[in-house]
Amino acid sequence: MATVRWGRLWGVAMLLAAVGGCAVTTEPLDQEAMEGQAARDLEVILGGQQPVTAPISLHEAMARAVRYNLESRLKVMESALAQRQLEVSSYEMLPKLTGSTEQNERSNESASTSRASKTPSVSADTGHTVASLTTVWNVLDFGVSYYGARQQANRAHIAEERRRKAAQGIIQDVRVAYWRA
């Protein structure tokens, strides 16, 4: 009886969630909100820059360009993300842990009486719970995860090389612009 009640309650909850999800509407962004967000983003991006107070040497110009360039910042973030994904993919090689529970209930009591005593005795509860926790380690899953981790390691190396190449490109552009000026 209790499981039927929980099943109905679960069904009603899912129906309400589905209807509630359909009722959400989006409002378009107005031009002022987008301009305000863009101004705040630029302030965050450019807020930490040191002002130029004296003539800049070539090495200082290169250092400032690499430090404050958005492309370089993007490549650093991509490299960090690739390193984190490499860590996550190495965890996928570990065994999988699965847990489950099962609850059984009945409405009547399992009672019995003996010849010597007419008083009924109960041998089992009306409900019981069974839980299990298993570890699964499949060689095929390990192999697939191993090659996935190797691919992710290669992606991390590629992201690091892209960051290095972006920094070299920035330095080259600054060198050319500095000597032209």
The tens digit of pLDDT for each residue in 48-97 reads 777 778 888 888 888 888 877 767 777 778 888 888 888 888 777 777 77
Helices 139-180 and 58-68 cross at an angle (nearest 10°) of 140
Q: Can you tell me the distance from the alpha carbon of 41 to that of 176, in angstroms, rounded to the nearest whole number? A: 30
- Which range among 78-82, 122-126, 136-140, 152-156 shows the weakest confidence by mean pLDDT? 122-126
**The pTM is what?**
0.47
More confident of the two residues 13 and 179: 179
Q: What is the DSSP string of 78-142?
A: HHHHHHHHHHHHHHTTSPEEEEEEEEEE-SS-EEE--SS--S-EEEE-SEEEEEEEEEE--HHHH
**Which tokens sit at 65?**
């360009």
pLDDT of residue 122: 65
Per-domain boundaries in the chain? 57-102+130-181
Mean pLDDT of 35-39: 86
Query: Residue 126: what are its φ and ψ, rounded to 5°?
Result: -75, -15
Q: 117 — phi, psi (to 5°)?
A: -125, 130
* In contact, 149 and 51? CB cutoff 8 Å: no
Q: Are 68 and 49 in contact (CB under 8 A)?
A: yes
